[in-house]
Structure 1
Amino acid sequence: MRVPIFQLDAFATRRFAGNPAAVVVLDRFLDDALMQAVAAENNLAETAFVVPSEGRYRLRWFTPMVEVPLCGHATLAAAAVVVERLEPGRDSVVFDTASGPLTVDRVGAAYRMDLPARTVRAVPSPPALPAALGVTPVETMTDGSNYLAVLSGADDVRSLQPDLAAIARLDRTGVVVTAAGDGTYDFVSRYFAPAKGIPEDPVTGGAHCALVPFWAARTGKDTFFAYQASRRGGELVCRLAGDRVHLHGSCVFYLEGHIEL
């Protein structure tokens, strides 16, 4: 079997920035083990598998190690593939996913994703968390799947050098660290998920589904210009709309071809 594959840099306006994602186009989902093997072979934070379905698309996401229930940057990449390659001229697409229907609209040269907001609540900081981060959070929250560690300043987020093996042993699948911005950005963040095969994710749409409600409650604002301070880095325009989060971003195509299965 020969199927199309694309690789894009998501949340980026130039190549070699933002978050790389692979998008594999299928006429039906393959066996889970085979899709997991393809994602491991790609060795990117996420590989998206898309299947046309009555004017919409079904969508699933795999890290190199596991299937995940939501991935923002690979959804953005999948939308760019649909709109710019599979159905040129289309300006909106709905993906049916494990997280419900996700709508992505083209807005000029960029895209707007409509994603579910995540409820964030305060929790006691487990003793292993400061040890893993190398710094004691000012506050510790959770969105259910991840810890959200609030640090005292943006420089603390940028300079963080966590113990990834220790983070992988925590009782959450990942750790988001965040702080208020110190200039251009309203807030900054980073995301570590070694237990899912992602030591540090360059730019994470899913993490912002928790970060946006958190900072909205903290500041009283509903719109933010955010920066994920990974080595590659990425900028996001974010808006809280009730129980949804709107994320704006661009994609750049890097690779187009086929894989043999």
Structure 2
Amino acid sequence: MVDTFDLPIYTIDAFTDEPFCGNPAAVCLVPYGKNLSEEKLQKIASEMNLSETAYIEHLETATMESSYKTSNEFKLRWFTPTNEVPLCGHATLASAATLFFCANNSSDAITFHSKSGPLIARRNGEGITLDFPINPVQPYDRQKVTSLIKEICDPALVEDVVYSSGTRKLLIRLKDSTTREELESLSPDTRALQASDTSGDIKGVIVTIKGRESIIDKSGKPYNFISRYFAPWNGIPEDPVTGSAHTVLADYWNKQLGRDEFYARQCSKRGGELIVKKVKAGRVELTGRARVVLTGTLKL
């Protein structure tokens, strides 16, 4: 007889306090003692068809008394519709929101054990702060990615090109004269973008510009930088708000602006905002809000 069980699942919009904005992620709370095969994990993520589906599991040291309501350490994995990834910021925020707001977890902070090491999420007023490893950038020969740049924008608009080897993300900074509207109007053919680099060295492209007094949120507060993120190599044409990209942006803009804390916006169609703070020992804190939009059960 086939072992069937119910899998609680939630859809959370991360890095926003409004429904249908920010970056949606599906979050599954895997029941104690249940194991899902790699194939099943990938099939669920493909079925959900969101940029990420996160799986929260009890640690191997957990006991029958462990619960999503009282424990403060869990295992966390992330899957795109096509593959597993080593780190996903918005789905980590969504996972913490699921535990805090849906499972009514009583902890002030939760540690997720992941392929990127331990990740800490803690309550921060109406938001949630994530503690992630920062991902340094290095100079990159733009001649190697000329075709890729042409798929995104006029190469004459490019101010700088750097690369994060830890995340395999290319960062393209546009000239400071670039407007928010010009950044938001970029519409690369993502299939052509993916075909422009088949080396395997690049898994995503961040496009960013420096903030200024005229680039503001709805309350009139200026952003320190804004960005967009394209990752067709991971099955994501454009990601709405990307925590892992901001672990790269934090290092880049720290070096460029000489400051440790930033107010940022990712300018996708859904859009979202976060506070980025570089902290000691190679860490970065990402703070944002989250909105629960769907609760349900998968019948497995």
1:6–1:81: 8 Å Cα contact kept in structure 2? yes
Whole-angstrom distance in 2 between the partners of 1:21 and 1:29: 21
Question: Within the alignment, does 1:178 sit opposite 2:195 as a pair?
Answer: no
Whole-angstrom distance in 2 between the partners of 1:117 and 1:87: 30
The CA deviation at 1:166 is 2.2
Partner SS state of residue 198, structure 1:
coil
Whole-angstrom distance in 1 between the partners of 2:81 and 2:266: 21
The CA deviation at 1:197 is 1.0
What residue in structure 1 maps to residue 189 of structure 2? 163
1:134–1:163: 8 Å Cα contact kept in structure 2? no
The CA deviation at 1:67 is 0.3
Structure 2 matches for 1:104-253, cutoff 5 A?
A: 104-125=121-142, 126-136=145-155, 137-144=158-165, 145-152=168-175, 153-155=178-180, 156-169=182-195, 170=197, 171=199, 172-182=202-212, 183=215, 184-242=222-280, 243-253=282-292
What residue in structure 2 maps to residue 30 of structure 1? 36
Task: Normalising by structure 2, report the TM-score.
Answer: 0.84
Amino acid aligned to 2:285: H
The CA deviation at 1:79 is 0.5
Q: Which moved more, 1:129-138 or 1:116-125?
A: 129-138
Whole-angstrom distance in 1 between the partners of 2:84 and 2:100: 25
Gaps of 5+ in 2: 63-70, 216-221
Amino acid aligned to 1:149: I
Amino acid aligned to 1:88: N
Residue in structure 2 matching 1:101, options 118, 127, 135:
118
Task: Normalising by structure 1, report the TM-score.
Answer: 0.97
| Offset from partner CA, 1:204-225 (integer Å, 9 cap, x none) | 0000000011001100000000
| Offset from partner CA, 1:213-240 (integer Å, 9 cap, x none) | 1001100000000010000001111100
The alignment of Structure 1 onto Structure 2 pairs a total of residues equal to: 261
Whole-angstrom distance in 2 between the partners of 1:187 and 1:127: 24
Whole-angstrom distance in 2 between the partners of 1:50 and 1:78: 7
| Offset from partner CA, 1:110-163 (integer Å, 9 cap, x none) | 100000100101101122122221321221111121110111124332221112
Whole-angstrom distance in 1 between the partners of 2:123 and 2:171: 30
What CA RMSD, in Å, does the superposition of the two structures yield over aligned residues? 1.2
Question: Within the alignment, does 1:18 sit opposite 2:39 as a pair?
Answer: no
Question: Residues 154 and 223 from structure 1, CA distance in 2 versus in 1: closer, same or farther, beyond 3 angstroms?
Answer: farther
The CA deviation at 1:168 is 1.2
Whole-angstrom distance in 2 between the partners of 1:226 and 1:29: 38
Q: Which moved more, 1:84-93 or 1:103-112?
A: 84-93
The CA deviation at 1:29 is 4.3
1:154–1:188: 8 Å Cα contact kept in structure 2? no
Question: Deviating runs (4+, > 3 A) in structure 1?
Answer: none
Whole-angstrom distance in 2 between the partners of 1:253 and 1:85: 8
Which is higher, the Rg of structure 1 or of structure 2? Answer: 2
1:58–1:97: 8 Å Cα contact kept in structure 2? yes
Whole-angstrom distance in 2 between the partners of 1:154 and 1:101: 38
